[in-house]
Amino acid sequence: MRTIYLDSEYKCHVNSDGTMRAVETDAFDGQCDTLIEGYRFVPDGEVWIRSDGAVFEGIMMAPWKDYNVLDEAQREYEQEQLADMRQALEEMGVYTNG
Partner 1 sequence: MIINASGGGAELNFKVVGGTAQPTTPQENTIWVNTSTKINKWTFSATAPSAPAEGDVWIRTGTASTVEFEALKKNSISVCPVAAQQYVSGAWVDKTAKSYIDGGWRDWILYIYKDGTLSQISGFTMTGGSMTNSSGVLTFTSTSSTTEYMLARSTQKIDFTGFKTLSVNFLTGSKVFRASSLTGSGYAGFGITTATPSVNTSGYPRVTNYAAWKIFAHTENNNAQPTGTLTLDVSAVNSEGYLCFLGDPYDGESSSWKAVLKMNLIKLE
Binding residues for partner 1, per CB under 8 A? 1, 25-27, 29, 38, 40, 44, 48, 50, 52, 54-68, 71
User: Least separation, in Å, of the C-beta of 50 and partner 1?
Assistant: 6
- Cβ distance to partner 1 smaller for residue 65 or 86: 65
Q: Is 22 helix (H, G, I), strand (E, B) or coil?
A: strand
Amino acid in position 52: D
Of the pair 59, 85, the CB lying nearest partner 1 is at 59
CB 28 within 8 A of CB 13: no
CA–CA distance, 16 with 80 (Å, rounded to integer): 26
The distance of closest approach from Cβ of residue 90 to partner 1 in the complex, given in angstroms and rounded to an integer, is 28
CB contact set of 8 (below 8 Å; sequence gap of 6+): 19
Between CA 40 and CA 29 the distance in angstroms is 15
Please, what is the minimum distance in Å from the beta carbon of residue 75 to partner 1?
11
Considering beta carbons, is residue 21 or 75 the nearer one to partner 1?
A: 75
